[in-house]
Amino acid sequence: MKIFRSVMMAAGFGVLASTAMIVHAQDAAAKRGMAKFNHSCAPCHGKGPGNDGKKMLPGTDSLRIKYQGSLPAPLEERKDLTADAIKTFVRLGSSAMPPFRKTELTDAEIVDIAAYLKYSSSHL
């Protein structure tokens, strides 16, 4: 019985350690994604005002007009953006948004951006 209990405790610790490693990997991806978002996305899609004196940045304002309140305009508040959806918009562009080549944003960086957006929208 003692051996069984020891094995079960060790298995439990293994699960906790695995979970901690997954959470740490997600945190690391979100941290990398935040840096890449701030560099590549926030100049148009950030929450702040533009340096042109307008209340919102152009991408955020465009989404505000498009969604008319049905979805949040700031990407960091969106809960529905998957890595695949972000990749589609990034690769193909949309309206005034130009497409980004893989040399500008890699697929792995887009996954990190998605991890950051998922994190940021759940920590509002």
Domains and CATH numbers, the chain: 31-122 (1.10.760.10)
Cα–Cα distance between 30 and 24 in angstroms, integer?
A: 10
pLDDT mean by block of 10 residues, the chain; 124 residues: 43 43 70 94 87 80 92 92 95 93 96 94 75
Nearest partner of 75 among 104, 29, 14, 118, judged by Cα: 118
Amino acid at 122: S
Cα–Cα distance between 111 and 102 in angstroms, integer?
A: 13
pLDDT reported for residue 92: 97
